[in-house]
Amino acid sequence: MTTHVAHPDLPPPSTSIGAIAWLRANLFSSWLNSLLTLGSVYLLYLTIPPLISWALINADWVGTSREACESGGACWVFVGVRMNQFMYGLYPETEYWRINLAAVLLVVLMTPLFIKRFPWKRWLVPFVLFGYPVIAFVLFSGGVLGLEYVETSRWGGLTLTLILSSVGMAASLPLGIVLALGRRSHMPIVKSLSVVFIEFWRGVPLITVLFMSSVMLPLFLPEGTHFDKLLRAMIGIALFQSAYMAEVVRSGLQAIPKGQYEAAQALGLSYWQSMGLIILPQALKLVIPGIVNTFIALFKDTTLVLIIGLFDMLAMIQAALADPNWLGYAVEGLTFAALVYWVFCFSMSRYSLALERKLHTGHAR
């Protein structure tokens, strides 16, 4: 009889670790891969250095008129001069502080939400969702507390983009959840109403919705009824996106095993309790990527309000491009727009990944 002696742990061979091994495995594993690697490096060499020299090295940063732009690179002076309009639209210059105050307030309110175990979180969330919009509206619109009245048609720029998209997101998620539950309901009337709503709004282009809301709707309303254009656009965007959201949420609901519903029922939980405590927390967590996808699409779709005469950031940039004093700087303006949109969308995407990691409870389905 032989006794078994355990083998000692040996280090891996030196060819399988380190930078050289990584390069060999990932970039030069075959002659075709080596060729593709070299080709890609050459392409990057052709595009990146000129881009950097145009955007950063040869660019003009300071000045007040186009005379400052003579070095041949990007003319960021144009963006700098117009920055206030890109951010605030046609809002009166003396009242910019109101928008700044609202922004600062939002940051102050949101920061604790990212702190683990902040004691008043349960009061803060409803306040951010319901209290803050009222405060922000009063600040933006004025007309009370000695604030000058600013009509909504003068709201614009990035401010308007953010207002439209945050209202759209805050309204479309709960509405989408209700519609998704409705579509899966056993009650025939609730179910068919949800299906009709979702299929109608998904079937129309957003441009049509916005047009209808600003041009057609007033024709049907009684003479003299005033119904704010911005409000109509907000409602249109919220209803439109809620239909998409409903289908995203429904896909999550369908992924939850039947046993979860049964266990909740067997414990005596009511329909709303089992949805709110058991099913939705799991379903929404599953569809975070889909929800953020819809949010990002919504954020970018807000630029369409341009066609009904609301001036969001992109519309302000386009208006600036038409300024005779600054003709020929379209690339700078649009690059700036792309950069701003990208920063917002990329942060949303990063945040969603962090949220997924945080909510992961290590269960295998």
Partner 1 sequence: MSDANTSRPDSAMAEPQMIELRHVHKWYGQFHVLKDINLTVSKGERIVICGPSGSGKSTMIRCINRLEEHQDGQIIVDGTELTDDIKHIDQIRREVGMVFQHFNLFPHLTVLENCCLAPIWVRRMPRKEAERAAMQYLEKVKIPEQAKKYPGQLSGGQQQRVAIARSLCMNPSIMLFDEPTSALDPEMIKEVLDTMVELAESGMTMLCVTHEMGFAKTVANRVIFMDGGEIIEQNEPEAFFHNPQSDRTKLFLSQILAH
Among 20, 263, 353, 354, binds partner 1 (CB under 8 A): 263
Site track 100-139 with partner 1 (rule: CB under 8 A), x = hit: ----------------------------------------
Tell me the C-alpha distance between 280 and 265, whole Å: 15
Q: Are 264 and 283 in contact (CB under 8 A)?
A: no
Tokens 């003319």 sit at which residue?
75
Region binding partner 1 by CB under 8 A among candidate stretches 27-35, 125-133, 228-236, 275-283: 275-283
Quote the CA–CA distance of 220 and 199 in Å, as a whole number: 23
**Counting contacts by CB under 8 A, is residue 253 touching partner 1?**
no
Instruction: Report the alpha-carbon distance of residue 53 to residue 174 in Å, rounded.
Output: 47
What lies within 8 Å, CB to CB, of 242 at 6+ separation is 171, 172, 173, 175, 176, 179, 201
Per-residue contact flags (x/-) with partner 1 for residues 306 to 345, judged by CB under 8 A: ----------------------------------------
| Torsion, CA 167, CA 169, CA 172, CA 174, rounded to 10 | -100
- Closest to partner 1 by CB, 226 or 363: 363
Q: Rounded distance, CA 163 to CA 176, Å?
A: 19
Examine residue 273 and tell whether it contacts partner 1 (CB under 8 A): yes
Of 183-191, 197-205, 241-249, 354-362, which part binds partner 1 (CB under 8 A)? Answer: 354-362
Kindly tell me which residue out of 125, 215, 267, 327 binds partner 1, with binding defined by CB under 8 A.
267
- Nearest CB to partner 1, comparing residues 11 and 119: 119
Contact between 3 and partner 1 by CB under 8 A: the answer reads no
Coil/strand/helix, residue 89 = strand
Task: Using the CB atoms, write b or e for 250-266: b if 16+ within 10 Å.
Answer: bebbeebeeeebeebee
Shortest separation between residue 187's beta carbon and partner 1, angstroms: 14
Using rule CB under 8 A, residue 262 touches partner 1: yes
Candidates 24, 154, 184, 285; binder of partner 1 (CB under 8 A) is: 285
Whole-number Å distance between alpha carbons of 295 and 108: 23
User: Where on the chain is the footprint of partner 1 (CB under 8 A)?
Assistant: 257, 259-260, 262-270, 273, 277-278, 281-282, 285, 359, 361-365
